[in-house]
Amino acid sequence: MPSTISRHLIVHGRVQGVYFRASCEDMARRLGVAGWVRNRDDGAVELVAQGSADAVEELVRWCHQGPRQASVTSVEVGEAEVDDRLSDFRTRY
């Protein structure tokens, strides 16, 4: 079984009100990535993605573009601690 990695992302640009969270959740579930995504008060979207390195890196690549309506200007990517309590991917409100 591949080792699990976890990444913390902050996505900047026109990423709220353009289905970024819902699209991110759909993509994460397709990739088998656990974690969460939420809007931030500063207009960015924040997420934690956890799973196999290949799946997480694929989601990170997707976040650099996002859904068609989004306009991503930058993505901050950092390591996060693996959280064994994460079993699926959800939108946080």
Separation between Cα atoms, residue 50 and residue 18, nearest integer Å: 24
How many CB atoms are located within 10 Å of the residue 21 CB? 21
User: Considering 21, 40, 68, 90, which one is annotated as catalytic?
Assistant: 21
Is 61 one of the annotated active-site residues of the chain? no
CA atoms of 18 and 21, how far apart (whole Å): 8
Q: Does residue 39 have an active-site annotation?
A: yes
Among 14, 39, 40, 61, the active-site one is 39
Residues labelled as active-site residues: 21, 39
